[in-house]
Amino acid sequence: MIFGLLKDRKVGEYRVIATPLEVSTIKADGHTVLVERDAGLMAGFSNEEYEEQGAEIVETTEEMYERADLLAKVKEIEEPEYKLLREGQIIYTCIHPAAHEQQVQAILDSKCIAFTAEDSHRYGSVNCEAAGKQGALMGLQAMLTINGGKGKFVSGLAGAPGMKVLILGGGLVGKSALQVLHSLGAWCTVMDVNFGTLRDIGQMYNEKVNTQLSTKQNIAKLLPEIDMVINCVKWPKGSKDYLIDREMLHLMEKGSVLVDISNDEDGAIESFRETTHEEPMYIENGVVHYCVSNIPGAIANSTSVAYAASVLGHLRSILNSGVREACIKDGYLRRSLTAYKGFLTHEETSAVQNRPWVRPEDILQIAQEMLDPAPPATVAKSDNFLKI
């Protein structure tokens, strides 16, 4: 097959989904590799390094879409790319389909085969770890007086107490943020709805981290004494409620910081609006908001190296075995199948956008095979099935 490595064009995005090392492996499997010019440049990988591993450097995005059987990149398909998608072509990238209706429509109209990478990770995405760790550091940047924050130092100084931080969500993102902040000396509280998660965090840190059940009431009670809130909750799509609504901002002291790593429209934070690395912060009701959607792009080299290694298995499986066999062998890849030749195959997107869908097992005709199991990617359910 012909594998194409696309350059990401989202504002502030500098990562690349395959380094020259992964290209070398794919070439060794017998495939042709196309790399869009400067795809890895900002992450520290030159065109020459890719060429040394056998890749062909391609000048335009249009040629990449025209020639490649499987295309991969880090972030969403941008609007100028919609018209370039073609029938039967395979796309692997972070589509976030439930939140991007126009992108989904373009994918369906093109009749391409699309995988949303964020649902394909068996052990959690490296990007989540990166977002949690770097997001914590970005929050400390927002806390500086020169950025409108309280001007508190994370661990405190002689005679001055350290910061109090509330982390909403104890999953991979939250645990990663906690790892950084606790090691720097912040006073941390983690809230989650899973008592097993809270118990594990308490034991991991020898009960030196406070844990509480995540409820709106518990959050409101704690906010007046909190310096920084980090939201790491994957909020149910379509929910009309918030964990922190605008009125609750009045409970926070002026100069407090709110870092929304989960970064969802209609997410857990009502005052959220997406920002970029160029203008990362805004102040609402005296609270400094940091809401950059692609935080890992700020550490493009480290994230690219780790992320490329984590997805190589999926790319090789599709390239070497084809979509059908790859989805039989890996349930996490199967659940990430978003669209197949004009049919929606992503349950959450069906539920949120009220679109009819087909289970991947049915459209691929593999329901009777020995399928590798995987849990659902989200709690969203849809019985709006399309008969095929």
CA dist 189 and 64 (Å) reads 47
pLDDT at residue 236 in the model: 81
The closest of 191, 196, 197, 201 to 230, measured between CA atoms, is: 191
From the list 119, 227, 264, 330, the catalytic residue is 264
Q: What is the 3-state secondary structure (H, E, C) of 112-137?
A: CEEEEHHHCCCCCCHHHHHHHHHHHH
How far apart CA 9 and CA 15 sit, in angstroms, is 10
Per-residue pLDDT of the chain (388 residues; tens, 9 = 90+): 999 999 999 888 999 999 999 999 999 999 999 999 999 999 999 999 999 999 999 999 999 999 999 999 999 999 999 999 999 999 999 999 998 999 999 999 999 999 999 999 999 999 999 999 999 999 999 999 999 999 999 999 999 999 999 999 999 999 999 999 999 999 999 999 999 999 999 999 999 999 999 999 999 999 999 999 999 998 887 778 999 999 999 999 999 999 999 987 778 999 999 999 999 999 999 999 999 988 999 999 999 999 999 999 999 999 999 999 999 999 999 999 999 999 999 999 999 999 999 999 999 999 999 999 999 998 889 999 998 7
CA–CA separation, 3 and 72 (whole Å): 8
Residue 80's CB is within 10 A of a number of other CB atoms, namely 10
Annotated catalytic residue: which of 31, 96, 121, 182?
96
29 included as an active-site residue: no
Order across the sheet with 337-340: list the strands. Answer: 56-58, 32-36, 2-5, 70-72, 90-93, 113-116, 337-340, 343-344
Q: Could you confirm whether 277 is annotated as catalytic?
A: no
What pLDDT sits at residue 10? 87
For 285, residues 6+ apart whose C-beta sits below 8 A from its C-beta are: 246, 249, 250, 252, 271
In 3D space, the residue among 160, 161, 159, 154 whose CA is nearest the CA of residue 183 turns out to be 154
Question: According to the model, what pLDDT value does residue 304 have?
Answer: 97
Closest CA to 98 of 215, 236, 1: 236
- Report pLDDT for 267: 86
Per the CB < 8 A criterion, the answer to whether 19 and 46 are in contact is no
Task: Work out the number of other CB atoms within 10 angstroms of the CB of residue 145.
Answer: 10
pLDDT the model gives residue 195: 96
* Residues 264, 224, 150: CA angle, nearest 5 degrees: 80
- Mention every residue, 6+ apart, whose C-beta is less than 8 A from residue 265: 99, 272, 274
Per DSSP, the residues of 287-330 read EEEE-BTTGGGGGHHHHHHHHHHHHHHHHHHHHHHHHHHHHHH-
Query: Which residue bears the tokens 């590798």?
Result: 372
pLDDT number for residue 370: 97
pTM value surpassing 0.85: yes
Nearest residue to 117 via CA among 97, 102, 103, 89? 97
> Helices (DSSP H) in the chain: which residue ranges?
20-28, 47-52, 61-67, 101-110, 126-142, 172-183, 195-204, 216-222, 300-329, 331-335, 347-353, 360-363
pLDDT of the residue at 237: 74
- 290 dihedral zone (left: phi>0; alpha: psi -120 to 50; beta): beta
